[in-house]
Structures are given as C-alpha cells and as structure tokens.
Amino acid sequence: MFRHTWQLSAFSSGKSAVKLSNGMVAQSSSTRSMIGTLGVNAGYRFVLKNGVEMKPYVSASVDHEFAANNKFRVNQEMFDNNLNGTRVNTGAGLNVNITPNLSVLK
C-alpha cells in the first residue's frame, strides 16, 4: 500500500491582552498561520496463520509555515513567536488486528 497526502491548514485570531496572576501583562498582536503539508505513507498488510492481521507502516511529510511575524509582548518586552519555515516529519508504526473487534496500535 502506498499513498500520497496533502493538506492546507489556516488559522487566524485577533489581538488580545491578558493580566497574569503575578501582575504581569501580556499582549499579543493578531496571529495568523497557514501550513501546507505534502507527504507519503507506505505499508504492508499480512495475515498470520492464526488469523491475526498485521500492518506495519512508515510515513514522511514536509510541512511549510507560510505566515510570519507572530509577535507578543510581556511587560513591555517583545517576543517573536515566528514559526515560519519548513520542517520534516517522519513516523513508523504497527497496527495489529487480533480479532475483528480488537486492534492494537503501536
């Protein structure tokens, strides 16, 4: 089994100001995020003699954050929460169907 995946996710929030329990004040400008993802999944299904079905798999994807300039301020100190750029995700796992109604994911 081999399949490709893609996704485009977007998020937006307005400005906010929060007074913290220690008296500090935090302010954030509007936050925006747009992430594009391209990936692949590959796996194999096989059944053991006792009927247990096993499905090992691997996955890999590349994510890119298009939005930048997510800043916030705490007590007049400016911080940049900028996560723009590209990152790689990898994974591997095993799905085991012990019976038609009982599965184990690892």
Q: What is the pLDDT of residues 70-106, one digit of tens each?
A: 777 777 777 777 778 999 999 999 999 988 788 887 7
Measured distance CA(29)–CA(80) in Å, rounded: 11
User: pTM of the entire structure?
Assistant: 0.66
Q: What is the pLDDT of residues 57-66, one digit of tens each?
A: 999 999 999 9
DSSP per position, 27-72? EE--EEEEEEEEEEEEE--EE-TTS-EEEEEEEEEEEEE-----EE
Average pLDDT over residues 30-41: 91
Measured distance CA(70)–CA(26) in Å, rounded: 14
Q: Residue 101: phi, psi to the nearest 5?
A: -110, 5
Kindly state the tokens that stand for 21.
């329990």
